Chains A and B, each alone.
Chain A
Amino acid sequence: EPEVTQTPSHQVTQMGQEVILRCVPISNHLYFYWYRQILGQKVEFLVSFYNNEISEKSEIFDDQFSVERPDGSNFTLKIRSTKLEDSAMYFCATRQATYNEQFFGPGTRLTVL
């Protein structure tokens, strides 16, 4: 069964460093999302992406964050200058069409020291 994959599974970085989290969506899916979950807290929406542009972003998704599909298959989330409070599990999700369910990847655990 097709699934969303994410790499790396765990990323440790120093505060102020740039990180790129990668997602490979299910092929033929057109809508892409990033969510995050700080330990012990709710899953929070970050950004939605369709047709090579951002559809919506939350207040968390500030200028330090960016998303792109660099090669038409991978979907990436970049954090330019990480902060301690960026430590969280980051989930990529994809959807085939507007009436379909979202499928989530296994997540990348980001630890900022």
Chain B
Amino acid sequence: KQEVTQIPAALSVPEGENLVLNCSFTDSAIYNLQWFRQDPGKGLTSLLLIQSSQREQTSGRLNASLDKSSGRSTLYIAASQPGDSATYLCAPDAGGTSYGKLTFGQGTILTVHP
């Protein structure tokens, strides 16, 4: 059974800092991995999708890396802004007969102060 852990659980930083959010998963046989943000009481917004064959994926100030063999993914946020404040979730996709089944971590709660 896939288990996903995200570190740190919470992060509070001043505006402008570069951030690193970590995600680890126990079953490395994944098809891809998605990063989401969730604002309080809201749905999940997809940020990035990394295919299992990729090492990195970039979107604006966000960069996600994937080391499938070691079961790790990292989300880098450059020049953080108060609007980045949210919970960040990673979710590997099982693939195979369980394709499409995302397993979520508890998330990293990010607060960026002006």
Contact = CB atoms under 8 A, between A and B. Distances in A.
Contacts, number: 56
| A contacts with B: majority SS | strand
Interface of B: 32, 34, 36, 42-46, 49, 51, 89, 91, 97-107
| B contacts with A: majority SS | strand
Contacts of B34: 101-102
Interface centre among B45, B49, B101, B107 (most CB of A within 10 A): B101
Chain A interface size, under 10 / 10 to 19 / 20 to 34 / 35 or more: 20 to 34
Contacts of B102: 33, 35, 43, 45, 93, 102
A43 B44 contact: yes
Given A93-B102, A104-B46, 16 more contacts: A33-B100, A42-B105, A42-B106, A42-B107, A44-B104, A45-B101, A45-B102, A50-B100, A56-B98, A91-B44, A93-B44, A98-B99, A98-B100, A102-B102, A105-B43, A106-B42
